[in-house]
Amino acid sequence: MKFIIERFDPDKDAKPYFKEYDIQLEPTDKMLLDALIRIKSVDDSLALRRSCREGVCGSDAMNINGKNGLACVTKIADLPDVVKLRPLPGLPIIRDLIVDMTQFFKQYHSITPFVINNDPPPEKERLQSPVDRAELDGLYECILCACCSTSCPSFWWNPDKFVGPAGLLAAYRFIADTRDQATNERLDNLEDPYRLFRCHTIMNCVDVCPKGLNPSLAIGKIKEMMVKRGV
Amino acid sequence: MALNVRKFDAVVVGAGGSGLRAALQLSTAGLKTAVLTKVFPTRSHTVAAQGGVGASLGNMGEDSWHWHMYDTVKGSDWLGDQDAIEFMCRTAPEAVIELEHYGMPFDRNDNGTIYQRPFGGHSMNFGEKPVQRSCCAADRTGHAMLHTLYQRNVFANTQFFVEWMALDLIRDAEGAVVGVTALEMETGETMIFHAKATLFATGGAGRIFASSTNALINTGDGAGMAARAGIPLEDMEFWQFHPTGVAGAGVLITEGVRGEGGILLNKDGERFMERYAPTMKDLASRDVVSRAMATEIKDGRGAGPNNDYILLKLDHLGPDVINKRLPGIRESAIKFANVDPVKEPIPVVPTCHYQMGGIPTNYKGEVIVPKGGNPNSVVPGFYAAGECGCASIHGANRLGTNSLTDLLVMGKSAGDSTIAYVKAHGTHRDLPKDAGDYTLSRLNRLETQKSGESVFEVGNAMRQAMQAHCGVFRFPDMLEKGVAKIKEVAERCKHTEIKDKSKVFNTARIEALEQDNLMEVALATMISAEARKESRGAHDRADFKDREGYPNGRDDKEWLRHTLWYKEGNRLDYKPVNLKPLTVETIPPKARVY
């Protein structure tokens, strides 16, 4: 099988280039990550991040034939004969398929990603009805792989100003939590021409999310709350 | 060449569940803390835990920490230390409640309390019948927990060094731990972290086996560093084989599936666990279920074209329960086994999952070694928690859900002990003059090695040897051959060659350094297993079977003791099991029946 992989080592290369690998896969190689490990056994200089190899840690996000996804849950059988791999677009490349995610996490951190509740903690758990808990479904499962934010043109243009789909999904995860008391402050934090409103509902985020989440819907709900609050 | 030095009150190595829980204590106490982690914290292996965290909240009916303690002691096949087990089970409810207050999205009951599901080996009233004790967030409990702990650390302003791999432990002439050397992956620079206290939360080494549920990063880095620094590793012969890894892929399918009512079937469609564990059936302890499955397969009753797997049936739970309580495993089954469990059973096999042994500690998370006649002498400035530590809570077999309970309780406990030590010791101990030399010599060896085997080849040889010689069923001749084999692989490991000598994010170098750590763990495991002449928990030897006075082949007269393996000379030592709990009566050894 043929793989064309973008390579870059800042100590050697003036700019990224593509390297071709024609590789004999074994029957046990089922996922794209297996193929990459097979390639690395031949060329140990290929650099990529990986950890859980089952789609829950978010390490091995990359651009696969033009679309962002996780290598470990992308089936080789579903890929064409030639596979072109690039690092996630829009973030600085550190080396090969490894990008600098500082900006991505900075935006995640900017939405105060923790429950804020200033009441003294009760002796037992804070109660939450199953219906209220269900509001968190589709939000808390995010694995911070950055597939969404790095497929979003608004994030490409303003990664320093626009929170991006992953960060906004997280913002709504805390707004939607009945245990959190900081909804107003959270909305204030996003009341800005860029942070929230740069989302133009292009929906790339929904299209690429490997966990099937819908940041666009969450962003819509925040916008709605913003409007309601304004009147 | 001297390395740059940075000074901290405390260094935490690892940012999975126990590292994050410990770091939270240290940051909140105002200690100048560095948390080193080779992956961004939420990529740590805690993220993969599925079924729940065990705590006797009693939300679903009567429960008590004492019952939880009994189950854990029995689960450990009496190799667990009962002071540590009591400590964990008593503290578990407050640890879970605390996590809920941090924002953990637990599933809920109609009355708003945390939902709890049944789990293997957890019972009411000292073994009477299954109890609902596992607090869960669907089947993504580890993910929800790890993210919640990370978020709380963001709140506490914890200082992380992300993608820094710790390489070696630094001890002074008196044996006290004064920090670590670490490699920054992005630059390839190595530095010394000089600390008053060092806390290891580096996770397990499940990647010593060919078939493993573990993340690729689970390479026993803490165990390897400790072993190279002269610290023994405890009870390394005890590895948990999880009953339900996806056949072929190794991906975990939670015991929560059986907790919610799923059952195991052989090729004849028989629910065979009824024969092996009449009371707990499919919810017996993991070692018991894995052995039963392996026996079915061995006796030709495995399913599939090659009769080499067992079927995990859950379609009878209906799509509503599956989608609500087990959505993640449905996703995994579709992706990795090509079956939709709403309609078809999942093909599963016992798969290496958890390291019961590790760096010896007490329940305070202080690392302890034999010294001057005291088997439990504290190593000044050194702490360990979570899967890399051995308190010993899990003994010869861990109960499902107790890994997450352990990392919460022991992470906090080790954190508190670290704070007390740092506060009692105002200044840093001096760094030895040659601190860093050992690390530099290891790195230099890799730099200059020419024409050796690749790390991939040597790693494969290790994984295959472990799988073939030290699996679910162990045989005396295979173990003996296994010791020779693994020693031979360890020799080869000293001469691995990496072709890539670059500086920036050189993952070939990282993998070579990881292989060094895996190798220590593999040696410790095989040698400890060969030497333990009994069957106990997950260590099942064909030459020690059930007979009068030896329940399931267990020999309490000779072997009710912990193994200690030292790297130097592959020496073995032993120390007594602590059968004395903190406040309650001892739970005396008896035959283990589920």
Task: Report pLDDT digits (tens) over B6-40.
Answer: 999 999 999 999 999 999 999 999 999 999 999 99
Specify the pLDDT at position B155. Answer: 98
Q: Which chain A residues are Cβ-neighbours of B506 within 8 angstroms?
A: 45, 47
Q: Give dist(CA A191, CA A193) in Å, integer.
A: 7
The closest CB to that of A109, out of B57, B108, B154, belongs to B154
Q: Give dist(CA B569, CA B22) in Å, integer.
A: 34
Give residue-wise pLDDT tens across range B321-333.
999 999 999 999 9
B488: CB partners within 8 A, 6+ apart: none
Q: With an 8 Å Cβ cutoff, is A158 touching chain B?
A: no
Specify the pLDDT at position B426. Answer: 85
Phi-psi sector, B235: left (phi>0), alpha (psi -120 to 50), beta: left
Which chain B residue has the Cα nearest residue A27? B248
Give residue-wise pLDDT tens across range B504-542.
999 999 999 999 999 999 999 999 999 999 999 999 999
Q: At what angle do helices B402-424 and B141-155 cross, to 10 degrees?
A: 20
The closest CB to that of B508, out of A10, A44, A49, belongs to A44
Give residue-wise pLDDT tens across range A188-197.
999 999 999 9
Residues of chain B with pLDDT under 70: 1
What is the Cβ-side half-sphere exposure of residue B436, based on CA atoms within 13 angstroms? 16
Nearest-Cα distance to chain A for B105, in Å, is: 7
Question: Is the sign of the CA dihedral A159, A163, A168, A169 positive or negative?
Answer: positive
A contact test, residue of B44, B50, B108, B454 with most A CBs within 10 A: B108
Q: Could you identify the residue written with the tokens 């209220």?
A: A132
Q: Give dist(CA B291, CA B350) in Å, integer.
A: 8
Q: Which chain A residues are Cβ-neighbours of B57 within 8 angstroms?
A: 125
Q: Which chain B residues are Cβ-neighbours of A133 within 8 angstroms?
A: 105-108
Q: With an 8 Å Cβ cutoff, is A141 touching chain B?
A: yes
CB contact under 8 A, A109 and B114: no
Q: With an 8 Å Cβ cutoff, is A13 touching chain B?
A: no
Interface of A with B in 116-135 (CB under 8 A): 117, 121, 123-130, 132-133
Interface of A with B in 34-73 (CB under 8 A): 40-41, 43-59, 73
CB contact under 8 A, A53 and B215: yes
Specify the pLDDT at position B1. Answer: 56
pLDDT band at A230 (very low <50, low <70, confident <90, very high): confident
Interface of A with B in 14-33 (CB under 8 A): 28, 30
- Is the predicted pLDDT of residue A231 greater than 80, yes or no? no
Specify the pLDDT at position B2. Answer: 82
Q: State residue B501 phi and psi, 5-degree precision.
A: -110, 15
CA distances from A78 to A38, B335, B366 (A): 18, 11, 50
CB atoms within 10 A of CB B210: 18
Q: Rounded to a whole number, what is the distance in angstroms from the first to the last CA of chain A?
A: 59
B contact test, residue of A50, A54, A75, A96 with most B CBs within 10 A: A54
CB contact under 8 A, B502 and A44: no
Task: List the structure tokens of B299.
Answer: 């006796």
* DSSP structural state of residue B3: P
CB contact under 8 A, A47 and B505: yes
Give residue-wise pLDDT tens across range B212-259.
999 999 999 999 999 999 999 999 999 999 999 999 999 999 999 999
Contact status, residue B306 vs residue B282, Cβ threshold 8 Å: no
User: Does the model's pTM come out above 0.90?
Assistant: yes
| Residues of B belonging to the active site | 286
Q: Give dist(CA B131, CA A55) in Å, integer.
A: 31
Task: List the structure tokens of B422.
Answer: 């740092």
Q: Give dist(CA B446, CA B455) in Å, integer.
A: 11
Nearest-Cα distance to chain B for A231, in Å, is: 31
CB contact under 8 A, B100 and A125: yes
Q: Rounded to a whole number, what is the distance in angstroms from the first to the last CA of chain B?
A: 60
Nearest-Cα distance to chain B for A120, in Å, is: 10
Task: List the structure tokens of B90.
Answer: 């008593």
Q: Give dist(CA A25, CA A4) in Å, integer.
A: 15
Give residue-wise pLDDT tens across range A56-88.
999 999 999 999 999 999 999 999 999 999 999
B191: CB partners within 8 A, 6+ apart: B3, B4, B5, B6, B181, B182, B184
Question: Is the sign of the CA dihedral A54, A58, A64, A67 positive or negative?
Answer: positive
Specify the pLDDT at position B374. Answer: 96
- Segment A39-45 shows an average pLDDT of 97
Q: Could you identify the residue written with the tokens 């406040």?
A: B583
Instruction: Tell me which residue of B150, B162, B167 sits closest to B24, measured CA to CA.
Output: B150
A50: CB partners within 8 A, 6+ apart: A33, A36, A37, A59, A60, A71, A72, B216
Pairing of strands B374-384, B190-200: parallel
Contact status, residue B89 vs residue B68, Cβ threshold 8 Å: yes
pLDDT above 70 as % of chain B? 100
Q: Where are the alpha helices (DSSP H) in B429-506?
A: 437-448, 455-469, 476-493
Q: Which chain A residues are Cβ-neighbours of B249 within 8 angstroms?
A: 30
CB contact under 8 A, A128 and B108: yes
Q: With an 8 Å Cβ cutoff, is A143 touching chain B?
A: yes
Q: Which chain A residues are Cβ-neighbours of B502 within 8 angstroms?
A: 9, 11-12, 45
Instruction: Tell me which residue of A200, A220, A195, A196 sits closest to A152, measured CA to CA.
Output: A200
CB contact under 8 A, B39 and A51: yes
CB contact under 8 A, B502 and A12: yes
Q: Give dist(CA A195, CA B530) in Å, integer.
A: 61
Q: Which chain A residues are Cβ-neighbours of B331 within 8 angstroms?
A: 55
* DSSP structural state of residue B358: B
Instruction: Tell me which residue of B133, B356, B121 sits closest to B234, measured CA to CA.
Output: B356
Contact status, residue B193 vs residue B36, Cβ threshold 8 Å: yes
Q: What are the respective helix, strand and coil percentages of chain B, to the nearest 5?
A: 40, 25, 40
Q: Which chain B residues are Cβ-neighbours of A56 within 8 angstroms?
A: 47-48, 140, 143, 328
CB contact under 8 A, B107 and A130: yes
CB contact under 8 A, B335 and A136: no
CB-based burial label for B1 (10 Å; 0-12, 13-18, 19+):
exposed
Instruction: Tell me which residue of B325, B310, B291, B317 sits closest to B246, measured CA to CA.
Output: B310
The closest CB to that of B97, out of A51, A125, A128, belongs to A125
Contact status, residue A176 vs residue A91, Cβ threshold 8 Å: no
